[in-house]
Amino acid sequence: MIAPDVELRLPADGGYVAVLRTATAGLAARLDFALDEVEDLRIAVDEACALLLAQARADSSLAASFWLDATSLSIDVATECVSPVAPSRDSFAWNVLSALVNSVASSVDEDRLVISLTRQTRSPR
């Protein structure tokens, strides 16, 4: 896999999610995403973090990786869990994520739960 363009690691605590939302918005704005697309990404990252924090170990961190190109922003948000379980694709939260981004996926790798989001801009540079 290609190395991310930006990586951010924060404590797995709801108080730090605002930092991740702000970073996401800043990167999307830098890519010239429209304001509504930037807001959709902020909300999607917030929702993904809520799903992750519900399972996060107390001593873990939220790790975010961002891949940027001219027309899209891809984000992986991950945390360590005691017994990670992928979110249900039938849940309300998953439906919200699906409505806000072009693609959403989750994966479990040993003790890590990862949620992957990709949003393409409607207004290429």
**1-10 pLDDT, tens digit each:** 689 999 999 9
Whether this prediction's pTM lies above 0.85 is answered by yes
Is residue 63 domain-resident?
yes
Instruction: State the average pLDDT over residues 45-68.
Output: 96
Is residue 76 domain-resident?
yes
Report CA-CA distances (Å) from 5 to 50, 75, 76: 24, 10, 12
Is residue 18 domain-resident?
yes
Is residue 20 domain-resident?
yes
User: Which amino acid makes up residue 119?
Assistant: R
**pLDDT higher than 80, residue 70:** yes
Is residue 75 domain-resident?
yes
The pair of structure tokens assigned to 59 is 């001593």
15: containing domain: 6-120
Is residue 125 domain-resident?
no
Number of domains in the chain: 1
Is residue 102 domain-resident?
yes
- CB-based contact 121:34 (threshold 8 Å): yes
Q: pLDDT for 86-102, tens place per residue? A: 999 999 999 999 999 99
CATH of the domain at 80: 3.30.565.10
Is residue 50 domain-resident?
yes
Work out the mean pLDDT of the chain and round it to a whole number. 95
At which residue do the structure tokens 């970073």 appear? 23
